[in-house]
Amino acid sequence: MPDFLFGIEPGHNVVYDIETFPNAFTLTARDAVTGRRWVFEASDRRNDLPLLRLWMDALAKSRCKLVGFNNLGFDYPVIHFIYNYVYCTVPDIYDKAMSIINTPFTNRFAHLVWDSEQVVPQIDLYKMHHFDNVSKATSLKVLEFNMRMDSVEDLPFPVGTVLTGDQIDVLEEYNYHDVVATDDFLKLSQPALKLREDLSNKFKRNMRNMSDVKVGETLLIMEMEKHGVSCYTTVDGRKQKKQTIRKSLALADVIFPYVSLENSEFRRIHQWLAAQTITETKGVFKDLKASVNGIDYNFGTGGLHASIHQTVVRSNETHQLVDVDVSSFYPNLGIKNGLYPAHLGPAFCFAYLGVYETRKTYKKKTAENEAYKLALNGAYGGSNNKFSPFYDTAYTMSITINGQLLLCMLIEQMLKIPGLSMVQCNTDGITYLCPREYLEHSREVCRWWEGVTRLELEEALYTRMFIRDVNSYIAEYKDGNLKRIGAYAYVTAIENPGTRELPHHKDWSARVVAKAAEAALVRGTDIREFIENHEDVYDFLLRTKVPRSASLEWGGEKMPNIIRYYLSTDGDFLEKVVPPRGKSGQFCKANGVSESTYLDVIDEIGEDVWDARIHTKNRSTYGERRTGIHTGSTVMICNNMQGHDFGDIDYNWYVTEAEKLVLPLIG
């Protein structure tokens, strides 16, 4: 039975969002199943806070969950504060919100409300998709663009504005718009959420708000403990992660003894690596490369990369295009070579192998199979994460250094085959063009390599590859399916959940360009004809955003900080505007001058006088900085799609962009 007072359906997820201003607080929500809407307001004209508390009690009683976007970090701590402080005022709520926003990163957990303390259990889509990771940072506004919402809206009033009654009405509609966007994203997130719900039920632990990385690490820890490998210790009554902290690491100590290279360039890299002692793991091998048969092989902590550029490679009557990838490369490197974080000991290897074998017992795409895949990946990622109980950089470098050197062993043996040429190398595999008469011989080389390394290679046959560079290409399989990478990618996580082409955190702008390029390269379609006859206007749209410290101007008019637009023959110029770094008109401070020295000299000479001791030599002054976006072209803003007929699309711009992906390859 629904809750009598609020019409709450038992067990339903309820999507919500809040807004806080000095004289107004709003919370809007809707049932993710029925669409029922709730609005709570606290202002000079209304006080719904007592009702809000009763509503939260009713949700808890009905076993509902509250779903939000960054709600663990912001929304829920605010409403938890409201729930517990019965006599709080709107200014109190605003102060609480500002204290959360202004909390230093180092103290970021100060306002967090732990699971056991929550009145209503929370599901945070922001955390679940790992958008709190710098490399995947994605706002709800970006998701509104990706989800093709009719309206992409930004906060209608500056933070800190004292609102009028009419403005509060506008705020509530904006508030609900964000709820709708969050609800839409919840629907797209159902496979990921179901996996976490299943895992939470299976393992009796709340995993709903864990990222894939965290899920994998958590499961791996549980599997380790099942095998008697403890990942934690107790110090002064507190649970602490076990870790191996290394001040330095001699790479010679982690390179496998069976690594043996013949090619002089690869041997040079091997010897150079073996002579290195490192103190960090990120960016330590900058510009390390070997040139072999006209191809540069670039080494780094992220893996080995190489490719021919700006060309088309085809299988034909005499040659076959072959791609071989190492199956579960990084996990199997560790398993087959008995690698383990030093603090966990050899027992780690048996437990890790158990995870691998357990995964194989479940069918692909099942929740269990996906979960154990995440667990396998958790060891390598955790070994380079200072917050993980798997942290040991020797494990990290053992994997990444040996992985690259072992691929070099495979490459140099392949290059002995008459007429064989390398096409690409990309972290966990290689692609080559092999004379058909030696195709079986190339497979024998693969079997030799598998015997040496005890790893397994998986073969795929391509008919064609259209290659701009190692990061952008199209590969066509024998069955006609396509693999699209980088600039040629256009299949999104909405169309194909779990795709590697365009996950939610990537830029989905102007997809018509990649589609036109593919049509031209793969099917021979004229680029202009494709673009001018393409009917999906959303594929022409782009988005851009700037931080709140900057602004966007369109034809001199200030725009929201995130906008949706298209290139237009009847639009205006778009600019990013960054305020001065110092007081406008003052001479710029020279690099390397400390703040105390600068202020001492200013006290001596005054603000408007140039002085060689503290100012730039060219006497530059602080001023507003403007940067054109699509310089030389005009755009049309369409944050709201209502009323746009799109008759003014500048097809020439899109054609030119598609030609950049096609003409260098085919001439």
| Arithmetic mean of pLDDT, 156-162 | 92
Residue 317 carries which DSSP code? S
Confidence of residue 290 (pLDDT cuts 50, 70, 90): very high
Give, in degrees to the nearest 5, the angle at Cα 457 between 426 and 356.
100
- Residue 3 has a pLDDT of 65
- Residue 301 has a pLDDT of 84
Domain 13-203 in CATH 3.30.420? The answer is: yes
pLDDT tens, 175-188?
Answer: 999 999 999 999 99
pTM of the predicted model, to two decimals? Answer: 0.91
- Residue 4 has a pLDDT of 60
Rg (the chain; Cα; Å): 29
Which has the closest alpha carbon to 661: 538, 510, 542? 510
pLDDT tens, 340-354?
Answer: 999 999 989 888 888
In angstroms, the CA 648 to CA 652 distance is 11
pLDDT tens, 100-134?
Answer: 999 987 887 889 999 999 999 999 999 999 999 88
pLDDT tens, 9-65?
Answer: 999 999 999 999 999 999 999 999 999 999 999 999 999 999 999 999 999 999 999
Q: Distance of alpha carbon 543 from its chain centroid, rounded? A: 17
| Arithmetic mean of pLDDT, 497-519 | 94
pLDDT tens, 186-228?
Answer: 999 999 999 899 889 988 999 999 998 888 889 889 888 888 8
Q: Is the dihedral of CA 123, 124, 128, 129 positive or negative?
A: positive
In angstroms, the CA 71 to CA 17 distance is 8
Residue that has been written with the tokens 């494990």 in this structure: 395
- Residue 557 has a pLDDT of 92
Residue 649 carries which DSSP code? B
Token pair recorded at residue 271 = 């010897």
pLDDT tens, 537-580?
Answer: 999 999 999 888 889 999 989 999 899 999 999 999 999 998 88
- Residue 455 has a pLDDT of 96
Beta bridge partners of 469: 472
- Residue 223 has a pLDDT of 85
Whether 507 shows a pLDDT value over 90: the answer reads yes
Beta bridge partners of 622: none
pLDDT tens, 403-450?
Answer: 999 999 999 999 999 999 999 999 999 999 999 999 999 999 999 999
Confidence of residue 85 (pLDDT cuts 50, 70, 90): very high
Which has the closest alpha carbon to 222: 243, 244, 207? 207
Beta bridge partners of 562: 545
Which has the closest alpha carbon to 319: 182, 462, 188, 459? 462
- Residue 2 has a pLDDT of 60
Torsion over CA of 80, 84, 86 and 90, rounded to 10 degrees?
A: -30
In angstroms, the CA 589 to CA 606 distance is 14
Confidence of residue 88 (pLDDT cuts 50, 70, 90): very high
In angstroms, the CA 658 to CA 514 distance is 7
Q: What is the DSSP string of 35-93?
A: --EEEEEEESS-B-HHHHHHHHHHHHHTT-EEEESSIIIIIHHHHHHHHH-TT--HHHH
pLDDT tens, 431-441?
Answer: 999 999 999 99
pLDDT tens, 620-641?
Answer: 888 888 999 999 999 999 999 9
- Residue 350 has a pLDDT of 86
| Arithmetic mean of pLDDT, 287-299 | 94
| Arithmetic mean of pLDDT, 472-479 | 96
Whether 145 shows a pLDDT value over 60: the answer reads yes
Confidence of residue 282 (pLDDT cuts 50, 70, 90): confident
Q: Domain extents for the chain?
A: 13-203, 542-649
